[in-house]
Amino acid sequence: MAYIDGDDFIDGAILSFQQANRMKDNFRLATPPANIQPGMLFSDSDDDKLYHEGAAGENEILQSGVILGSNIQLGDDVQLIFGDDSDGSIQYDETIDDLMKLGVPVSNNVLAILQQADIGQNLASVPAYGHPTIALYGASFTDYLAMYHDETDGYFRTLDGSFIFQTDEGVNTPTSVFIKPKGASEISEFGLFDADGQRLQAITAADRAYIRSLGGALGINDDAAQNVYMFESAGVGDNPVKRVYGYITTGAAARYQYWQLEDVNDEAIWGAENNANLLGLTAKLNNAAQSFRVRDSGGVVKFEVNGTGFGFYATAPAAQPAAITDATGAGDVVDRLNSLLAAMRTLGLIAT
């Protein structure tokens, strides 16, 4: 009978001190004894660690309610495996990647982070994106913030509510969000989508920042109760130009018109690019009831033109006066002069 080989004690058998010492000596050695059996424990005297001998290469210790009073250390490339079917694991991969790895179940690919009290609860919703996903749950464990990568793009998704970026630094501290490209000559892009696809794009390129509308018009502030302001912080020498480009056939190129508040003559300017192929500025009226007017600071019309004609100094626009023939002698000079004065009064050039 060899107790160290795993044989059972027999009723009435006497355990000699030699046998007890042999069991002790085989339990505490520098290397496992050659005849160690599956299911037996072995204490390594070199590193003061306890080892368990498993069958067929397995080493399992099944125990519930274990409370440990110190650290647990797993060796390099060893996995801490969870679940009867090895559904998840944690490993420090020293040999290949030299990093910590966490394996999620292939059934749903989700690592859920929630309050300890909710661990045993049935989650009302679980992400199902087909890729390893980190899901942060709220206190009610019904809504989540998910993060994953689909091998093409990275995603942040929320089951309910909005995304809010806010700093908790200090008091009354501004929050900033930066989007940076990789590489000195690359661009950054921010896009907004609706159900039909991408509609708004903010992009940096060629030392400029652009706001683009894709597949529709670009609107600015559809809240009619609010104003739109530009360049409010302008100081000495700050006279930014607002350009609108368009293609012209003469010269076959894109040219621009512009608006500017300039400080040479302290005037507001509406102008055209300095190019001989751009033939000027035109105010076009598309309806007979429309007029182009110039008013003074008191709101009085000083000049007006519409489909009928034009007028000055609050005079209703009139058609071009009829031609006045040249005087042929001293007798008709007064008559021609009176006709000219009448035409000028009709247009408002002189008072009546």
Q: Is residue 137 part of a domain?
A: no
Q: How distant is the alpha carbon of residue 137 from its chain centre?
A: 21
For residues 216 and 244, state if they share a domain.
no
Q: Is residue 5 domain-shared with residue 62, that is, in the same domain? A: yes
Distance CA 4, CA 94 (A): 37
Integer angstrom CA distances of residue 258 from 16, 249, 253, 273: 108, 19, 17, 8
Highest mean pLDDT among 88-92, 121-125, 171-175: 88-92
- pLDDT of 13 > 70? The answer is no
Is 103 contained in some domain? no
Q: Could you tell me if 214 and 265 lie in one domain?
A: no
Task: Output the pLDDT for position 120.
Answer: 85
For residues 304-321, give the mean pLDDT.
Answer: 94
Domain contains 148 = no
pLDDT at 83 over 60: yes
- Same domain flag for 252 and 314: no
The structure's pTM equals 0.61
1 and 63 housed in the same domain: yes
Q: How many domains does the chain fold into?
A: 4
The pLDDT value recorded for residue 55 is: 67
Establish if 308 belongs to a structural domain. Answer: yes
Do 239 and 270 fall into the same domain? yes
Token look-up 């091998």 returns 151
Mean pLDDT, rounded, for 222-227? 89
Q: Is residue 42 part of a domain?
A: yes
Q: Which pLDDT score is estimated for 3?
A: 47
Please report whether residue 244 resides in a domain: yes
Are 189 and 203 within 8 A, CB to CB? yes
Q: Which domain holds residue 241?
A: 229-282
Strands (E), the chain: 28-29, 41-44, 49-52, 79-82, 88-93, 99-103, 110-113, 133-137, 144-149, 154-158, 189-194, 197-205, 208-213, 241-248, 253-262, 267-272, 291-295, 301-306, 310-312
